[in-house]
Amino acid sequence: MNIRKGLLTIFGATALILGAHVTPASAQIETSIGTFSPTINITTNYLFRGISQTERNPAAQAGLEYGYTVGMFTPYLGTFISNVQFPNGSFGSLRQRVELDLYGGVRVTPIDKLTLDVGAINYMYPRNTVDSEPNVQGVGNPQWSEVYGKAAYDFGFAKLVGSVFYTSAFSAASGTGWYYEGGADVPLPFFELTAIGRVGRQTIERNANFGFPDYTTWNLGLSRDVLGFLVTGTYSDTNIKKGVSLGRDITGANSTFTNENHKLTKGTFVLSVMKAF
């Protein structure tokens, strides 16, 4: 059973660790050849679309993005790395301990306060054993790629954001996958806090291969700059229930959602501290 990250981390400019992999605006190092945006992050639980990637344990993460602005266009390339931990058995036997993502795209600002973003991302697990251990053959490679489109408009009193992600080959030979997400960041009139909210929907063609049903996820949180660190606390949950039938895929038999997997999707509070350099 392989579960996926987040993404969190791939786009500059909104909130930190919401269970997508979305990062806050990072510090920028301006050079004659473009802008570099490095970040490091410590989180109590690495969530990706409402599912823990570390069995509800902490994670240390780092990212680096390069961009070059030409008029309204900013092409960019970036990378993200994190420790991961998956349950024993099934995909746990792949010994996936590190996630390394590469992404790239272009952001466009056609009018003031509106940002559009299109790109692609590749999720990788270096040194996983899918190709070398006979007992995991046939379950599908955990590594996968997807394309995305995003839009954000800042009204001042709130920033509205929306995104869609698509892959024709989801992790673990799970077929087509779609993820839709929308939400808002709202500056509050006290303590320099920003309220954050997101709702997302993940659909998967072959649920039994992936180990999870189609599901909805949501999160609410607060973030604040503290001495140059972005501190974010969020509560995240999904609508996944125990014992749901996942259908029949390459397993050759009907599959159900396990209690072990369910602990990765239950409601949880996550505290994250990010530093941009």
Those residues with Cβ within 8 angstroms of residue 88's Cβ, 6 or more apart along the chain or in another chain: none
Which of 64, 63, 46 has the alpha carbon at shortest distance from 55? 46
Model pLDDT, residue 18: 34
Model pLDDT, residue 162: 98
Whole-number Å distance between alpha carbons of 5 and 52: 8
Model pLDDT, residue 28: 85
Contact between 192 and 222 (Cβ < 8 Å): no
Domain 29-276 architecture:
Beta Barrel (2.40)
Contact between 237 and 248 (Cβ < 8 Å): no
Model pLDDT, residue 14: 32
Model pLDDT, residue 232: 98
| Mean pLDDT per 10-residue segment, the chain (277 residues) | 40 34 59 94 98 96 97 98 80 73 98 97 83 54 93 97 97 93 97 97 92 95 96 97 82 75 92 93
Instruction: Give the start-to-end residue ranges of the domains of the chain.
Output: 29-276
Model pLDDT, residue 40: 97
Model pLDDT, residue 25: 45
